[in-house]
Amino acid sequence: MPEDSPNRRSLSRRKFLRGAGTAIAVTGAGALISTKVNGDATEPAEQGGTAQEGLVDVTLKVNGKTHQLKLQPRVTLLDALRERLQITGPKKVCDRGNCGACTVLRDGKPVYACLTLAVDAQGSEITTVEGFGTPEKMSEVQQAFVEKDALMCGFCTPGFVTAVTAALKKNPNADNEELRRACRGNICRCGTFNRVFEAAVEAAKKMKGA
Ligand code: FES
Ligand code: FES
């Protein structure tokens, strides 16, 4: 097939999108843009103090690893993850508890990382989308999102993968209705809802098979 034939091009594009989908479902890499944020986890001296002023010791356990940080008490878990630990699966979209893109598991329960203070997350097991699997060994939910092509821009995807994972851990027999309820706190601005729930149901089947 010639390099520039339409079939060749569409195959290449499909292959590329499949690869991108895998990266997004596993690491949230779809939103590679690292947003510089308000109230971020760094403490600029230009805010009137020294870089060390008001910092407290914070210990976070994320994806099985323990991290020691020094943070302002007002820093959210989302900023600590993204800005300090470079764990960028959870996305910063609304930063006010409206969209679910920042969803992580706190002791197995989905929470909005943008509404959780890092200091308050101490003592909990935090799991982000990166903690579910790797591109080589994806979880059933991650696999299903890739197979069902359940994403467009990918910003919402880590949140949905996390919410669906939590729902299926709680009830492996969750049906379409229950999975939809579990994702009530997640919004897809691209409108990929049907595929998201196809993926969720497929993941339930895979998990039962496993
Ligand atoms: S970024 Fe946290 S709910 Fe939207
Ligand atoms: S795929 Fe774009 S917001 Fe959901």
In angstroms, the CA 19 to CA 114 distance is 28
Ligand 2 atom having least distance to the Cα of 153: 2
- Probe ligand 1: pick from 76, 81, 95, max atoms within 8 Å of CB? 95
Partners of residue 68 on adjacent β-strands: 59
Instruction: Read off the pTM.
Output: 0.84
- Probe ligand 1: pick from 76, 77, 93, max atoms within 8 Å of CB? 93
CA-nearest of 142, 126, 169, 137 to 30 is: 142
- Residue 91: what pLDDT? 98
In angstroms, the CA 1 to CA 5 distance is 7
Which is more confidently placed, 51 or 90? 90
Å from CA of 33 to ligand 2 middle: 15
Mean pLDDT of the chain: 86
CATH number of 15-42+51-209: 3.10.20.30
pLDDT tens profile 9-68: 555 555 655 666 777 787 766 544 333 333 445 554 444 456 678 999 999 999 999 999
Per the CB < 8 A criterion, the answer to whether 92 and 82 are in contact is: yes
- Domain ranges within the chain, ordered by starting residue: 15-42+51-209
pLDDT tens profile 157-203: 999 999 999 999 999 999 999 999 999 999 999 999 999 999 999 99
In angstroms, the CA 39 to CA 1 distance is 53
Strands (E), the chain: 56-62, 65-71, 103-106, 109-112, 125-127
Ligand 1 pocket member 156 (CB < 6 A): no
**29: which 2 tokens?**
């890499």
Taking CA atoms only, the protein residue closest to ligand 2 atom 4 is 188
Ligand 1 pocket member 146 (CB < 6 A): no
Q: What is the number of other CB atoms lying within 10 angstroms of the CB of residue 198? A: 18
Å from CA of 78 to ligand 1 middle: 9
Taking CA atoms only, the protein residue closest to ligand 1 atom 3 is 97
